[in-house]
Amino acid sequence: MTNHPKNTGDTLVRIEDLRVTATTDSGRKIEILKGINFDVRRGEVLALIGESGSGKTTIALSLLAYARSGCHFSGGRVLLDGVDLIALDEGSRQKLRGNKVSYVPQSAAASFNPSKKIMDQVVEVAEIHGILDKAAARTKAIGLFRALSLPSPETIGNRYPHQVSGGQLQRLAAAMALLGDPELVVFDEPTTALDVTTQIEVLKAFKSAILDRGMTGVYVSHDLAVVAQISDRIIVLKDGEVQEAGETEQIVGAPAHPYTQALIAAFEPVEAEAAGSRPASTAVLEMRDVIAGYGNVKSDGKPHIIAVDSVSLTLQRGHSLGVIGESGCGKSTLLRVAAGLLPAASGSCILDGNTLRPQVSARSKDELRKMQIVFQLADTALNPAQTVGNIIGRPLTFYHGMRGAEREKRVIELLDMVRMPAQFRHRLPRELSGGQRQRVNLARALAAKPDVLLCDEITSALDTVVAAKVLELLKELQRELHLSYLFVSHDIHTVQSLCDEVMVMFGGRKLETFAAADLHAEARHPYTKLLASSLPTLDPTWLDNLQQDPELVRKFAHA
Amino acid sequence: MTVSAAPRRKLRFQIRPIAAICLAVVLFWAAVALFAPLLVHYPVGDMVSYDYFGPMSKEYWLGTDYLGRDIYSRLIVGARYTIGIAFVGLILAALIGVTLGLLAAAFGGVFDTILSRAIDTFVGIPNLLLALVIVAGGGSSIPILIGAITIIFFPGCYRFTRSMAVNVNALDFISVARARGEGNFYVMIHEILPNIVGPIMADLGLRFVHIILLLSGLSFLGLGVQPPNADWGAMVRENMIGISYGSPAVVVPSLALASLALAINLLIDNLPQRIRDQLE
């Protein structure tokens, strides 16, 4: 082994023709990585971007000489400082992890041991590798907490993981990764699970820590805008192959590969062409002063924990109302109340002029038919034991009494409506991709011939390009079938491109409702402005130029 | 519009050799139990040889017992009693347990709480003790044995089914079905049951082994199948002293018992990965 001079700019990591193969249940072999080549130079941050299944996490883990169970390295080399990690034995690999290469996971909440204090977990790396003694490690950790702008850095380590917020925990996970002064830090979608306002704080902390330390990093993400803020170079992956590699400015500014172009096109918000311009028609769904929540009912008739607090809304026939807010703001609960899955404690829900009973079991079949709910995760919203045909066919039998050939014919029509081939009705949900499952999820709701669709974050779990297609489909269906959508999302872009009106929720309350086209108007509520400004754009200088009122951030962000 | 026929679903299971061997053993004993009358050489209760604890021979394939009866014939008929009683008891226990478990999960609330606590009281009583009490009270006959097995084993089936069903009940597709207006029975049978039937079958397999062991235990104490008939446990007891004569009379039924119990256990341990995934 030769000694490389350690100057900034020389190659730290070289991946040569890396191949990873997985063995499935039935013994079939699938190539996850099909010969990946790239370098990471010392002091740069390289981003790996791609949709789910593109192999980005597999590459990231290979930098730790780790392959997930069922996978193995079937070829190529991963050279860190000239040493092939794949050729190392397990003992040497363990010495490497956390020490030379460290890892910041997507879900810090799942990575911390809930029964140990944070500080004990953060300094564990130093103990395992015998880098620092306990006192020195603690001092260093506190320094890192300060560098990552965590509140009360001296004492935060004495808390347990559940006593800090998600954004703080993510930064604590980064502190854990940085403690051993690794040569390479692998970030695996570290901000994906966070709310937008929290994401900003975490991104800023990461960026300044990276710049201060001149760190070398590999940043894995599906979000091009986030990556544009933090990386020097971007590699675009699809199906285990590199599609395009280049400087950040080039990739987001002038993408050469068609796939990258599609990614960027899907990112640009498309203004709803009819937004605000369509005339108001009759109200199809109205909710008035709805209060709902969880837990035992208190003496004043309100639930113990109030999730939705006196919210009123009106959905016009053929229109879409977007409900936005961050996690825990009560937007999904609002949908469950409308569907009757969670009976409201007080307030009323009026569909087509008829006041609905709060419980689903007390509503008539026709009332239920008119309003259908579509859930976010199609994986759990489709019964894994039923074929697509049965899943879509059941509402046909249930509401419309269809059977046999008539039902089969209608199922095929519905599949066609969501742009899926007729043969798919024989498949099980696990034999479909994420986007296809969401289409089946939609088709099942359409089978009832509803007037109103309650959509709960239905594009959030999908990849950018796929989500854009599903949104397009929603728009077409609205035109064809004159549907009305109550569309819940945390993503302003999505809501803006689909909805006529937007309602903003915070802490269970409605803050304001406005026409989607007026999102950037001056009269907006400060929180709406904060939400709108927190959404990363493709401009690589966006994060550095971002000006937010710290008072406002403190008040509304959960960081 | 063309209506294509559903393609045949291939079972894409990787069968492990050990599972195949175990399955063969289980099927072998099932066939023996089914066709017992065709296979016996001598009537079960008849003393056919003057040589008690006789060795294996051409006439008496597996030797003779302490009264000079043919072990081979008794083993074959014993399989019928052992497997037959255990199987019927298991089916009854499963019917009651799985049905109640699904009901508890689908209806939930107070119904679930009361049912669960009531059934928990059964679990508190040791199996063998409860069996002894039932047999002592009702006398030892085959219906009483089956009844005892049902009462002893349905709480386990109930608890297993309920815990699996409650997990499935929390998933979104159940919410969708409820929002559609489906009743509890539809949810139970069409939405929950198909998703837990694999693990339940595996669990029942293990329970079958427990039943056979309990039944043999009862017979060993003289409370199981009554003479001149015998199940495997009774055969071990009858011929216990034969061990000092080096007779096969005690070894053969013990081996039969062990082979069946082991085969079922190993079969379940080596189930195809897809069913195991559901179990975990």
Residues of B in contact with A405 (CB under 8 A): 3
Q: Is the pLDDT of residue A410 over 70?
A: yes
**Min CA distance, A340 vs chain B (Å)?**
7
The answer as to CATH 1.10.3720.10 being correct for domain B35-279 is: yes
pLDDT above 70 as % of chain B: 92
Note the pLDDT of residue B143: 92
* Span A325-379, pLDDT tens digits: 888 788 889 999 999 999 998 899 999 889 999 988 899 999 999 999 999 888 8
* Span A392-401, pLDDT tens digits: 999 999 999 9
Note the pLDDT of residue A197: 81
Report the SS3 class of residue A427: coil
CA–CA gap between residue A147 and residue B108 (Å, rounded): 50
A348 bridge partner residues:
A288
Under a CB-based contact definition with an 8 Å cutoff, are residues B267 and B111 in contact? no
Does residue B273 or residue A50 have the better pLDDT?
Answer: A50
- Considering only alpha carbons, which residue of chain B is nearest residue A376? B172
Proportion of chain A in helix, strand, coil states, percent, rounded to 5:
40, 25, 35
Under a CB-based contact definition with an 8 Å cutoff, are residues A425 and A369 in contact? no
Under a CB-based contact definition with an 8 Å cutoff, are residues B263 and B25 in contact? yes
The reply to whether residue B180 touches residue A448, judged by beta carbons under 8 angstroms, is yes
Under a CB-based contact definition with an 8 Å cutoff, are residues A186 and A63 in contact? yes
Note the pLDDT of residue B3: 47
- Considering only alpha carbons, which residue of chain B is nearest residue A450? B180
Note the pLDDT of residue B217: 86
Residues of A in contact with B12 (CB under 8 A): 25-26
- Considering only alpha carbons, which residue of chain A is nearest residue B272? A25
Of residues A361, A381, A399, nearest to B176 (C-beta)? A381
Q: Is the pLDDT of residue B151 over 90?
A: yes
**Min CA distance, B57 vs chain A (Å)?**
48
Q: Is A259 touching B (CB cutoff 8 A)?
A: no
Q: β-pairing, A346-351 with A283-297?
A: antiparallel
Under a CB-based contact definition with an 8 Å cutoff, are residues A343 and A292 in contact? yes
Report the SS3 class of residue B15: coil
From A167-181, A258-272, A459-473, the region with the lowest mean pLDDT: A258-272
**Min CA distance, A218 vs chain B (Å)?**
33
The reply to whether residue A340 touches residue B6, judged by beta carbons under 8 angstroms, is no
Cβ-count burial A435-474 (b if 16+ within 10 Å, e if not): bbbbbbbbbbbbbbebbbbbbbbbbebbbbbbbbbbbebb
- What is this model's ipTM? 0.77
**Min CA distance, A343 vs chain B (Å)?**
12
Note the pLDDT of residue A271: 56
**Min CA distance, B194 vs chain A (Å)?**
6
Locate A477 and state its tokens: 């269906």
Helices (H), chain B: 17-34, 36-39, 71-107, 109-123, 127-138, 142-169, 172-180, 184-186, 193-220, 232-238, 248-269, 273-279
Note the pLDDT of residue A559: 47
Mean pLDDT of B86-114: 94
- Which helix (H) or strand (E) is A304 found in, with range? strand A303-316
Q: How far is CA A286 from the centre of its chain?
A: 30
Note the pLDDT of residue B13: 58
**Min CA distance, A216 vs chain B (Å)?**
39
CA–CA gap between residue B96 and residue B99 (Å, rounded): 5
Cis? peptide before B228, omega within 30° of 0 = yes
Q: Is A377 touching B (CB cutoff 8 A)?
A: yes
Cα–Cα–Cα angle for A390, A391, A392, nearest 5°?
90
- Considering only alpha carbons, which residue of chain B is nearest residue A387? B6
- Considering only alpha carbons, which residue of chain A is nearest residue B187? A383
**Min CA distance, B33 vs chain A (Å)?**
34
Q: Is A363 touching B (CB cutoff 8 A)?
A: yes
A267 bridge partner residues:
none
Q: Is A422 touching B (CB cutoff 8 A)?
A: yes
The reply to whether residue B180 touches residue A398, judged by beta carbons under 8 angstroms, is yes
For tokens 């002029």, the residue is A353
Residues, chain A: 559
Note the pLDDT of residue A118: 92
Mean pLDDT of B69-78: 90
CA–CA gap between residue A222 and residue A224 (Å, rounded): 6
Of residues B6, B173, B182, nearest to A382 (C-beta)? B173
Tell me whether residue A277 is exposed, middle or buried, using C-beta atoms within 10 angstroms of its C-beta: 0 to 12, 13 to 18, 19 or more.
exposed
Residues of A in contact with B195 (CB under 8 A): 383-385
Confidence of residue A535 (pLDDT cuts 50, 70, 90): confident
Q: Is A375 touching B (CB cutoff 8 A)?
A: yes
For tokens 């290469």, the residue is A101
Q: How far is CA A241 from the centre of its chain?
A: 23
Of residues B4, B7, B173, nearest to A383 (C-beta)? B173
Mean pLDDT of A292-301: 83
Note the pLDDT of residue A234: 92
CA–CA gap between residue A516 and residue B75 (Å, rounded): 81
Q: Which of residues 441-470 of A touch B (CB under 8 A)?
A: 444, 448
Q: Is A408 touching B (CB cutoff 8 A)?
A: yes
Note the pLDDT of residue A457: 87
- Considering only alpha carbons, which residue of chain B is nearest residue A456? B172
The reply to whether residue A383 touches residue B12, judged by beta carbons under 8 angstroms, is no
The reply to whether residue B12 touches residue A26, judged by beta carbons under 8 angstroms, is yes
Locate B187 and state its tokens: 């949810």
Note the pLDDT of residue B197: 87
Q: Is the pLDDT of residue A7 over 70?
A: no
Task: For chain A, list the domains and their CATH numbers.
Answer: 11-267 (3.40.50.300), 283-524 (3.40.50.300)
Q: How far from A506 is each of A336, A528, A532, B103, CA to CA, in Å?
A: 17, 10, 14, 39
The reply to whether residue A26 touches residue B182, judged by beta carbons under 8 angstroms, is no
* Span A165-205, pLDDT tens digits: 888 888 899 899 988 888 899 999 888 878 888 888 888 88
Locate A351 and state its tokens: 């569909």
Under a CB-based contact definition with an 8 Å cutoff, are residues B26 and B267 in contact? yes
The reply to whether residue B1 touches residue A412, judged by beta carbons under 8 angstroms, is yes
Greatest CA separation for chain A:
80
**Min CA distance, A365 vs chain B (Å)?**
7
**Min CA distance, B94 vs chain A (Å)?**
21
Mean pLDDT of A284-305: 86
* Span A210-238, pLDDT tens digits: 888 888 999 998 888 888 888 999 999 98
This prediction's pTM: 0.78
The reply to whether residue A341 touches residue B194, judged by beta carbons under 8 angstroms, is no
Across chain B, how many H-helices and E-strands are there?
A: 12, 0
Residues of A in contact with B2 (CB under 8 A): 422
Of residues A384, A395, A444, nearest to B195 (C-beta)? A384
Q: Is A342 touching B (CB cutoff 8 A)?
A: no
The reply to whether residue B13 touches residue A368, judged by beta carbons under 8 angstroms, is no
Q: Is the pLDDT of residue A270 over 70?
A: no
Locate A316 and state its tokens: 């016009």
Residues of A in contact with B272 (CB under 8 A): 25
Q: How far from A145 is each of A111, A195, A219, A554, B214, CA to CA, in Å?
A: 18, 21, 20, 18, 61
For tokens 């169970």, the residue is A69
Under a CB-based contact definition with an 8 Å cutoff, are residues B250 and B94 in contact? no
The reply to whether residue B173 touches residue A444, judged by beta carbons under 8 angstroms, is no
Under a CB-based contact definition with an 8 Å cutoff, are residues A240 and A462 in contact? no
Confidence of residue B8 (pLDDT cuts 50, 70, 90): low
Q: Which of B173, B185, B191, B197 to mutate to test the interface with A (most CBs of A within 10 A)?
A: B173
For tokens 């013994």, the residue is A27
Cα–Cα–Cα angle for B196, B201, B206, nearest 5°?
130
> Helix B142-169 crosses helix B109-123 at what angle (to 10 degrees)?
140
Confidence of residue A5 (pLDDT cuts 50, 70, 90): very low
From A16-25, A72-81, A514-523, A549-558, the region with the lowest mean pLDDT: A549-558
- Considering only alpha carbons, which residue of chain B is nearest residue A408? B3
Q: A430: Cβ–Cβ under 8 A, 6 or more apart, which residues?
A: A384
> Across chain A, what does the average pLDDT equal?
86
- Considering only alpha carbons, which residue of chain A is nearest residue B7? A426
Residues of B in contact with A386 (CB under 8 A): 190, 194
